[in-house]
Structure 1
């Protein structure tokens, strides 16, 4: 089954939920705010997608860091502590990951 990782209040998450519901695609939602993220799951995301994809540099959580903090950032530790800085959504199905919400790319990912 498709599993979606993120936080419910995020607009991109809402778009993703609406998109999947319209297409009738069932999914399970993992809420970082309630459940956090395991070290193994975060490491899997980083291994599959890379730090540049998993770290959400557009969000306010990351932008609030000083330049010095950004330069010396241990991404793994930071994302475990600040799950709101993880790119949203991250979708996992059949040992494959997809990050973000771009309908055309998501369609291709879901059908391949």
Structure 2
């Protein structure tokens, strides 16, 4: 079963969840704003895709950060920022059969769930 992580108010998360429902793919949803961000998941995602992929530098949460927090971001600083504000994660994060996908694209999901 797939598990999707994000926040329920995110349009991209809504699109991904709708796609999963329309394709009858069983999944659970974890809202990391409401339910928290599990440290083990954050660690696994960084190991799988890297902090650069996980950190959303294009979103509102990033734009709201003071310039000094955005300066000289490395892995340690990025993870510290994400722990403080989980909405800095590019959404959604999807886990399925050991694969981790960050963001949503119909093509990417179709490829992942082709079987």
- Counterparts of 2:16 and 2:2, CA distance in 1: 12
More helix, by proportion: 1
Asked if residue 99 in structure 1 is aligned to residue 102 in structure 2, the reply is yes
Runs of 4+ residues deviating >4 angstroms: none
1:46-101 deviations in whole A, cap 9, x for unaligned?
11111121001111111122333212441111111101111110000122100111
CA RMSD of aligned residues (A): 1.4
In the TM superposition, what is the alpha-carbon distance from 1:110 to its structure 2 partner? Answer: 2.1
Query: Post-superposition shift, 1:33?
Result: 1.3
1:51 maps to what in 2? 51
Q: Which structure 1 segments of 5+ residues have no match?
A: none
Q: Which residue of 2 aligns with 1:3?
A: 3
User: In 2, Cα distance between the equivalents of 1:65 and 1:31?
Assistant: 22
Q: How many equivalent residue pairs?
A: 112
Gaps of 5+ in 2: none
